[in-house]
Amino acid sequence: MINPRLIRTNQKGITLVELLVVIGMIGVLGVISYPVFSRFMKPYDFRAAAREVMTTAMQARSNAVRDNASWQVVFNSGGNTFSLVDPDGAVVTTHDLSQSYGNGIRLIGSLDTSCGNAAKDWNGTGISQAASLSFTGRGFGGNATVYLVSGTNDVCAAVNTTVTGVIRLRSYDGTTPYADSHWR
């Protein structure tokens, strides 16, 4: 027979109720912190969207050289989309900025004369949204710029191509009053 004094009544461990309380507290903290975390992520989303445009332009140039034929990236500011288009005019891929990044990032319209707080580009000339970025079979492009603006409508990014086929990503930090030196 087992001696009742030898049976432990003070066993260590956690109960199911304690575990559920801790999981509930973690859930409440997650719900409370989500708005703060999402505001923290907005600048990273904006940079990612600008890089997505630049990467697609680089893919168009690479495909143009590979195929020795003209490729382009076509922009639809009303739909907030851009598409990679092959030499036959067929759409290869379409990127929807609203679907990927919500309403926090948009392409400026063709009639817009500013991009966020940027009244001019880095050369001091006016803002003019290109309908497309095109590349020839030798990798050459045209002088064209596509602008994206943040949801707060102050920060601006520009993907710029030159005649020689160079693709640059630039950003305006939103400083007011406007100054050319705030383009990076």
101-129 confidence digits (pLDDT tens): 877 788 998 888 888 888 888 888 889 89
What would the mean pLDDT of 3-12 be, rounded to a whole number? 63
8-54 per-position pLDDT tens digit: 666 677 888 888 999 999 988 888 876 766 665 555 678 889 999 99
For residue 170, give the H/E element and its range.
Answer: strand 167-172
Whether residue 107 contacts residue 129, with contact meaning beta carbons closer than 8 Å, is answered with yes
Q: Which domains does the chain have, with CATH numbers?
A: 47-182 (3.55.40.10)
Question: Considering only CA atoms, which of 45, 117, 53, 43 is closest in space to residue 84?
Answer: 53
pLDDT value of position 10: 64
85: left (phi over 0), alpha (psi -120 to 50) or beta: beta
CA distance 43 to 25: 29
Residue 31 CB neighbour total at 10 angstroms: 9
61-106 per-position pLDDT tens digit: 999 999 999 999 999 999 999 999 999 999 999 999 988 887 778 8
Residue with more model confidence, 145 or 155: 145
Whether residue 95 contacts residue 52, with contact meaning beta carbons closer than 8 Å, is answered with yes
